[in-house]
Structures are given as C-alpha cells and as structure tokens.
Amino acid sequence: MSENYHIHTQLLHNDHKVCPSTGAVSVPIHHSSTFHQNSFDEFGIYEYARGSNPTRKALEDVIAQLEGGTRGFAFSSGMAAISTAFMLLSEGDHVLITEDVYGGTYRFVTEVLPRFGIEHTFVDMTNEVEVAEKVQPNTKLIYIETPSNPTLKITDIRAMVKLAKKHNCLTFCDNTFLTPVFQRPLELGVDIVLHSATKFLGGHSDVVAGLAVVKDEELGKRLAFLQNSFGAILGVQDSWLVLRGLKTLQVRMNASTLAAAKLAEWLNGRQEVEKVYYPGLPQHPGKEIQEQQSTSHGAVLSFEFSSKENAKAFVENVKLPVFAVSLGAVETILSYPTTMSHGSMPKEEREKRGISDGLLRLSVGLEDVDDLISDFTQALETIESSLVKK
Ligand SMILES: *Cc1c(COP(=O)(O)O)cnc(C)c1O
C-alpha cells in the first residue's frame, strides 16, 4: 500500500511507522539477544538476534521498500555489507570492477579476495567497449559504483546490467553517493544495491553502518544465509539511529544538493581552482547518463588545485567544513583523498585514476551556502599570494 506514496512520504509512512503492540511512533529498540519460543516444535519469527531481531528488521524492511527491493540487510559497516555480498562468489570466479572504486573496496578486492582464489580486473566503467572486452569466461560479477569516488565518474548502469545479463553474471551497485531518493539501481536491473549507511542514510556522523538490498528472493535467501554465517550484523541502537536518519533523508539530500550545485559552479569560476568534478556541470562527460538514470547530481563534488601545497593551504585556512574522512553528513566535510579515503591505494594507482595530490573532496552539508562561499573566498584569498602557479 505504502509503495504508492512518493518517496518523501514513504520515508515517514512505511510498515514500521507505528509499533503494532504498543503504538510507539518510534521503532522500539529491542535489547534482546534471544527470543522465548512458546512452542516446543514450532518457533516464532525471531529466534536468536544474529539471525534477525525486530529493530534491525524494521530498518531492513524500510531500506528494501525505499530501494524497490524484496529484502534488505543491515550490517555493522558499509564494508561489512560489501564484503559479505562478495562472499556470494566462489574460488575461481572473476570480478570486473570499476577502477575508481571506494578505497576500502579496493583493499578488499586486491588484498583479501585473491587469497580465496577470486580474481579481479579493474576497468574504466565509463568505457563500455573496454568493459565488454575484459569479460572472461569465469566472470561472475560486474561491480559498479556511480557516481564514483572521488572523481565523480558516471557509469551507465543499464548498459552494465545488459552486459552482465548477456554473460550471465551478477551486478552489484554501491549507491552510497545518491541513495534511493535520487537513484534506484534495482529498478535498472541491478542485483544487489550496497550502501555505506554511515554516510547520507544515517546522515549525522554518529553511526557506522552498512546496508544491502536485493529484489530476487532466491538471491535474498543466499544473502540472508551469508549475513547470519558471517555475523557482521548491525546492532539495535545503531539500527535505530539509521532509521531516525532516514526520516529526513529527502530534505537533507535536497538542501545539500542545491548547495553543492551552487558551490560547484562557483568553484568552477575561480582562477585558483584547476578543475571541478561534479556531474551537474555542463562540461562533465557523464552528465547526460546521470540525468537518464538518476533524479539529481548529488551533494558530493571534488576540486583540484595545481599542487599539494595549495590544497594544504586551502584546508588550513577554511573555517566551516570539518576536515575528515567520510561524507554525507549534516555538516560539510572536506577530505583529502590521497591520504584519507584512498590512502590504501598505491600512489601510481591513484594517479592513474586522476586522484592527484592537489585534489580535495567536498561533501556539502546543511549550512547556508552563502556562508560556505564566503568562507571559501577568504581561504582562497589568504592563500592567493602563496599560490603555486603551474
Ligand atoms: C564510506 C564508503 C564505503 C564504506 O563504508 P563504511 O561504512 O565506512 O564501512 C563504501 N562505499 C562508499 C562509496 C563509501 O563512501
């Protein structure tokens, strides 16, 4: 019934808006590791809390509904969700993965999976011909992340799904940057949607969490088995925090995106800045595809100075943003991919992906955008005299 509402409304009015036994309008936090069974030979819905518990289940149901899936899964971090999903693969399988994937996923795929005989090839996923050429007889998965991190490249999700179906392989899509309010990969044919709920879904820099959603029920059973086997589940307090964050997801995303678009355009016009990466800018090569598969350009952008010194000076002079790892929060977060999100990637690999030492990533929060612009202006002006010109 609630699927008929717009996503705005679904965030508030879903199957868990009222607790059926108490009428509570906030999902109760059930601190119970096990559940009494009334019958000797017939067990209830809940048995042992690693398998399932009512608070986590509420979050799993809500994210499944928002993504248009049949089943959701909550994990103790985005990486726990991603690595558990990779456990669907077996020894001898091969993965095609986007070259500018999140640093933690890069680490898992390059340093953990090979020990279990699972191979990978990194590809430029904006180049469909290249991806098609790299498919091997044992390719079982195409792993998409779009927009990518931190250079905001856009992968054509439908094209990747088509290629995957032709070769009978699965597709995963990391949807952390846009969330279901702006992009719904399952509706484009993707098999598993993955999230770091630490970012926009939680939204307040107060919880580390991960989510996965599937549409296919059989795949859902396999992932449920892995979630219980691996055991990297999200605790009940943290499940509740993500549920609370979700209620304001649409308004936060809308406000942050408006500000991000304005900032991207403004930065693009500043002579101190060499390059701005944002899929909403007219010169962005992925803009058209982005607009076909998503309803927004998102709240994350990156921009590049000609040198590390200039990036450092900017970070040291700017006052409003938090300088930190992470994104997708109420406060604007500035980060330095070279040593933060992509610190686990060797320098030459980073450079191949356009992650230069002058690159900064910005996740726009809920501050007044004019305050951010004033702050950035003074930071650019203070460093102007010392700016190292190319
Ligand atoms: C942060 C992030 C992850 C990892 O999530 P954690 O919650 O930190 O484990 C995965 N993908 C993307 C795009 C991210 O930004």
Instruction: Please classify residue 44 by burial: count the beta carbons closer than 10 Å to its beta carbon, then call 0-12 exposed, 13-18 middle and 19+ buried.
Output: exposed
**Domain tally for the chain?**
2
Give the number of other Cβ atoms within 10 Å of residue 285's Cβ.
11
- Whether ligand 1 lies within 6 angstroms of the CB of 208 is answered as yes
Q: Can you tell me the mean pLDDT for 244-250?
A: 97
Q: Which residue range(s) make up the domain with 157? A: 7-246
pLDDT of amino acid 79: 98
Q: Are strands 210-214 and 192-196 parallel, antiparallel or unpaired?
A: antiparallel
Q: For residue 341, what pLDDT band results from cuts at 50, 70 and 90?
A: confident
Q: For residue 2, what pLDDT band results from cuts at 50, 70 and 90?
A: low
pLDDT tens profile 27-62: 999 999 999 999 999 999 999 999 999 999 999 999
Residue 338 lies in a domain: yes
Residue 86 lies in a domain: yes
The rounded radius of gyration (Å) of the Cα atoms in the chain is 21
- Whether ligand 1 lies within 6 angstroms of the CB of 77 is answered as yes
Q: Does residue 85 share a domain with residue 219?
A: yes
Q: Which of 106, 196, 239, 361 to mutate to test the pocket of ligand 1 (most atoms within 8 A of CB)?
A: 196
> Could you give the strand order of the β-sheet that contains 71-75, starting from the edge strand earlier in sequence?
71-75, 210-214, 192-196, 170-174, 139-145, 94-98, 119-123
SS3 assignment, position 303 = strand
Residue-wise DSSP of 36-105: --SSSS---S-SBTTT--HHHHHHHHHHHHHHT-SEEEEESSHHHHHHHHHTTS-TT-EEEEETT--HHH
Q: Does residue 95 share a domain with residue 119?
A: yes
The average confidence (pLDDT) of the chain is 95
Q: Does residue 133 share a domain with residue 27?
A: yes
CATH number at 178 reads 3.40.640.10
- Cα–Cα distances in Å, from 76 out to 40, 233, 234? 32, 5, 4
> How many Å lie between the centroid of ligand 1 and the Cα of residue 272?
30
Q: Does residue 137 share a domain with residue 267?
A: no
Q: Output the CA torsion 7→11→13→14 (10° steps).
A: 90
Residue that is last in its domain, among 246, 277, 303: 246
- Whether ligand 1 lies within 6 angstroms of the CB of 298 is answered as no
pLDDT tens profile 103-119: 899 999 999 999 999 99
- Whether ligand 1 lies within 6 angstroms of the CB of 78 is answered as yes
Residue 387 lies in a domain: no
Catalytic annotation, residues: 50, 102, 174, 199
pLDDT of amino acid 385: 57
- Cα–Cα distances in Å, from 314 out to 84, 148, 366? 39, 24, 21
pLDDT tens profile 279-326: 999 999 999 999 999 999 999 999 999 999 999 999 999 999 999 999
pLDDT tens profile 175-185: 999 999 999 99
- Please give the number of the atom of ligand 1 that sits closest to the Cα of 82: 10
Residue 25 lies in a domain: yes
